[in-house]
Chain A
Amino acid sequence: QQQVKQSPQSLIVQKGGIPIINCAYENTAFDYFPWYQQFPGKGPALLIAIRPDVSEKKEGRFTISFNKSAKQFSLHIMDSQPGDSATYFCAASVTGNTPLVFGKGTRLSVIA
């Protein structure tokens, strides 16, 4: 049973566009929701994370929107650049209890 469902599987946007990646979860005990970015040949790297006590968090060009009632969260990348082309993973965990569980990933291509 997949605990975190991520969509879309792949995404192509023009430079300057705003790609949006969505994740949904079932376990209401989850209370930590990070997004990781992975480039080919590299390990995933933390991009931004949110706790359920806020509905939005912004760091630079990256924004997480969180909807607790719908059990969904999404990543928005403002003014996307070709250098943002990578695979993005959402993840979730129960603080102090479980290791992170990851979505299947979204492969983003930003074309100039």
Chain B
Amino acid sequence: DTGVSQNPRHKITKRGQNVTFRCDPISEHNRLYWYRQTLGQGPEFLTYFQNEAQLEKSRLLSDRFSAERPKGSFSTLEIQRTEQGDSAMYLCASSQQGDPTPLHFGNGTRLTVT
């Protein structure tokens, strides 16, 4: 069990650019979640997958955000036309199917939009 891996750890981009983050979950976990965390706040749910199916999307996930999980393994989160308000820590978590099961979080990707 190598844990949830997220890359890159840090990303600085200019407003209007597109960015993509990657998450590799714990291998036997079939559920994968994306959360966003801003300074002084708790993680806010964005979306989650069970295997390759995207089961739920938060209203926070605007049209500029898209997430994929091809083949039910790693996942990518893309933000198009970034805005300064997108600056945050993007956290990925995975869990086994079954409820409730603990979420295992990665260490996040910190995005700074200048």
Residues of A within 8 A of B (CB): 6, 32, 34, 36, 41-46, 49, 51, 89, 91, 93, 95-96, 99-105
Is B111 on the interface with A (CB-CB < 8 A)? no
Enumerate chain B residues within 8 angstroms of A102, measured Cβ to Cβ. Answer: 42-44
- Give Cα distance in the complex from A99 to B61, angstroms: 15
- Give Cα distance in the complex from A91 to B103, angstroms: 11
Is B79 on the interface with A (CB-CB < 8 A)? no
Smallest CB separation, B32 vs chain A (Å)? 11
Interface residue ranges of B48-68 to A (CB < 8 Å): 48, 56
Is B26 on the interface with A (CB-CB < 8 A)? no
Contact assessment for B99 and A95 in the assembled complex, using a CB-CB cutoff below 8 Å? yes
Q: For residue B55, which residue of chain A has the nearest CB?
A: A99
Q: For residue A32, which residue of chain B has the nearest CB?
A: B100
Q: Which residue of A34, A41, A96 contacts B99 across the interface (Cβ within 8 Å)?
A: A96
Q: Which residue of A43, A49, A96, A104 contacts B108 across the interface (Cβ within 8 Å)?
A: A43
Number of contacting residues on B, CB 8 A? 21
Q: For residue B56, which residue of chain A has the nearest CB?
A: A99
Using A45-B105, A102-B42 as known contacts, list a sample of 11 further A-B pairs with CB atoms less than 8 Å apart, ordered by residue number in A: A32-B100, A42-B107, A43-B93, A96-B99, A99-B45, A99-B56, A100-B45, A100-B103, A101-B45, A103-B42, A105-B42
- Give Cα distance in the complex from A96 to B100, angstroms: 7
- Give Cα distance in the complex from A25 to B7, angstroms: 34
Contact assessment for B45 and A44 in the assembled complex, using a CB-CB cutoff below 8 Å? no
Enumerate chain B residues within 8 angstroms of A34, measured Cβ to Cβ. Answer: 100, 102
Q: For residue B9, which residue of chain A has the nearest CB?
A: A41
The digit string for B19-53, where 1 denotes a CB below 8 A from any CB of A, is 00000000000000100000011111100100000
